[in-house]
Chains A and B, each alone.
Chain A
Amino acid sequence: MGRVVVLGVGLTKVGEHWNKSIRDLFVEAALRAVEDAGIELSDIEAVIVGNMSSGYLQGQEHLGALMSTWLGLRGVATAKVESACASGGVAFHQAFLAVASGIYDCVLVGGVEKMTDAVTEDVISALIMADDQEYVASTGITFAGLNALVYREYMRKYGVKQEEIAYFAVHDHKYARDNPYAQYPFEVSLEQVLASPLVADPIRLLESSPISDGAAAVVLCSLEKAKSIKSEGLVEVVGSAVATDILSPHEREDLTTLYATHVAAERAYKMAKVEPKDINVVEVHDAYTVLGPIHLEDLGFVKKGDGAKFVVEGNIEKDGKLPTNTFGGLKARGHPVGATGIYQIVEVVWQLRGEAGKNQVSDAEIGLAQSVGGVGSSVAVNIFRRLR
């Protein structure tokens, strides 16, 4: 297996891009990544596009050929990768495999989602397609509703209060403030979060990730090729894994542990030859507040049931034990579904390169990004290390 490095990254701001189409967003992020990489477009041999719902929301499939056409990359190998909200993280894993295999030297992987083309009730339909249409969506439950079942069970099993869990949203907003790419770059108070309307009891609006447009892209290269282009700012992909669980959470024995996170993390740690204690900076997939503590637990950073306390006590601040979601997470950076996994990776790369601005974690060497599809039905864990 060849060594793979991140050579360049690019983003669009997350938000409501009324004047930009799904291809505009993708091309914008891709061109920035190519420029940051210091390569020519013609160096790219394959394009992988992570996206969940373009078929439903835009009536547009075949994103691989669409995006490569608009990038002028006629002849290039492409594919769209769909794994619900984990589409970005899983697309990245596929791009990693493509380079690690030695078949491609230089691959562009991006994620894109354009959600504001549709009204909220149709976005709700699109998102529940992450679970079983015939026996789950047909009940009328929403994706927030499935996570509400997790939330209720977590509070009951571990005796954790909603105000401790909801604090995760306050944390995210605090770090979005200094992220120029965040959808909501402002702070919120715990009181505001707890007073916001119920979406799916007990989940409140300000505990939920928003509806977002955005695209993010990364250029992956073999280590040999990367070294021929630049010698500084290289970040190696040292671990990359994807795992799955039983699709519908109500069929599992325990709602409070996402088994797929355990499995993916174990594989990625092993590949990277690191342990949880070695990780300096983390991005977790907090689509709803309760998932933040659960992910920190399932990734092996804190004991089951102690995740919320760990957060409230300040351990995930940028100068804490385990800086987490230092650009606002899904809640405040935003959650353009299929792009989110790539946003997380770009944010980790910025931290490792020392380009995180006011949110910079001091001397971060190893970072981890976790991308989740469905209620833990697909999980990608990618681990990165700064090359000196």
Chain B
Amino acid sequence: MIPSVPRVWREIRYRYRLIGCKCTDCGAVYFPPRPLCIKCGSRKMKELKLSEDGVLINYTIIHYASREFKYQTPFIVGVVKLREGVKVLAQIVDVDLSEIKEGIEVEAVFRKLREQGEQGIIEYGLKFRPKIKPK
């Protein structure tokens, strides 16, 4: 893929802070935010800061990846259902591959996602890790 700074920059607000949106007519929640509700068609969408924790509901372990991710293999990508009910796709980190399972509670953590091309433009964003419970 052609490296691009603006392509990454314009998504930073949503990617770094997990900002989605909510339909003020039917209540549906989305991530990333979008201009109209795909459930009811309303255009009355309001930005919503999403919770940074949720439950892992599905996952896979990637053994063969693209050029940008091959040095990270094997790694886990999972579907996280946030408290608002919206589902987010993200890497699941800080967990042993043999210990991963559906149903675990996870929390967002800020990490490097990938380096673009030889110029090395770094994309950051959120990954999730098993929730650390206070003692």
- A residues 232-246 in Cβ contact with B at 8 Å: 246
Counted as pairs of residues, one from A and one from B, with CB atoms less than 8 Å apart, the total is 92
User: Is the CB of A141 closer than 8 A to any CB of chain B?
Assistant: yes
Q: Is there contact, CB below 8 Å, between B58 and A255?
A: yes
Is the CB of A43 closer than 8 A to any CB of chain B? Answer: no
Shortest Cβ distance from B111 into chain A, in angstroms? Answer: 11
Q: Please determine whether B60 and A152 come into contact, CB atoms closer than 8 angstroms.
A: yes
> Which residues of chain B (109-124) have a CB below 8 Å from chain A?
113-114, 123
B63-A197 in contact (CB<8A) = yes
What 0/1 pattern do residues 77 to 119 of B give for CB contact below 8 A with A?
Answer: 1010000000111110000000000000000000001100000
Chain A's closest residue to B100 (CB) is: A201
Are B90 and A139 in contact, CB atoms less than 8 angstroms apart?
yes
The smallest C-beta distance from A127 to any residue of chain B, in angstroms, reads: 9
Query: Considering the chains assembled together, what is the distance between the CA atoms of A127 and B65 in angstroms?
Result: 11
Query: What class of interface size applies to chain A in its complex with B?
Result: 20 to 34
Q: Does B25 contact A (CB under 8 A)?
A: no
CB neighbours of B65 from chain A (8 A): 121, 124, 140, 142
Per-residue 0/1 for A131-161: is the Cβ within 8 Å of any B Cβ (1 yes, 0 no)? 0011110111110110011001100000000
Asked whether A188 is an interface residue with its Cβ less than 8 Å from the other chain, the reply is no
B89 & A141 in contact (Cβ 8 Å cutoff)? yes
Q: Which residues of A contact B90 (CB under 8 A)?
A: 139
Known: A140-B75, A152-B58. A124 touches B64 (CB 8 A): yes
Contact B62 A250 (CB under 8 A): no
Smallest Cβ distance from A267 to chain B, in angstroms? 21
Q: Is A200 an interface residue (CB 8 A)?
A: yes
Q: Nearest Cβ distance between residue B60 and chain A, in whole angstroms?
A: 4
Q: How far is the CA of A220 from the CA of B31 in the complex (A)?
A: 43
B5 CB–A CB distance under 8 Å: no
Residues of B within 8 A of A197 (CB): 63
B36 within 8 A of A: no
The verdict on A199 contacting chain B, using a C-beta distance below 8 Å, is yes
Q: Decide if A139 touches B77 in the complex (CB within 8 Å).
A: yes
| Least Cβ–Cβ distance between B92 and chain A, in angstroms | 10
Most buried by B among A125, A133, A145, A202: A145
A313 at the interface (CB under 8 A from B): no
Cα–Cα distance between A203 and B59 once the two chains are bound (Å): 12
Is B70 interfacial (CB 8 A cutoff)? yes
> Please, which residues of chain B bring their CB within 8 A of the CB of A116?
none
CB pair B66 A153 closer than 8 Å: no
A134-B11, A138-B123, A139-B90 known; A200-B62 Cβ under 8 A: yes
CB-CB under 8 A for A200 and B60, given A138-B113, A250-B87: yes
Interface residues of A in 19-70 (CB under 8 A from B): 56
Q: Distance in Å from the Cβ of A60 to the closest Cβ of chain B?
A: 15
Q: Does B38 contact A (CB under 8 A)?
A: yes
Give every chain A residue within 8 A of B38 (Cβ-Cβ). 246
Q: Check A140–B91 contact: CB distance below 8 A.
A: yes
Q: A133 CA to B116 CA in the complex, in Å? A: 13
Does A366 belong to the interface (CB within 8 Å)? Answer: no
Q: How far is the CB of A193 from chain B (nearest CB, A)?
A: 16
Contacts A139-B89, A149-B58 aside, 6 further interface pairs with beta carbons under 8 A come to A124-B64, A135-B32, A139-B113, A140-B113, A142-B64, A255-B58
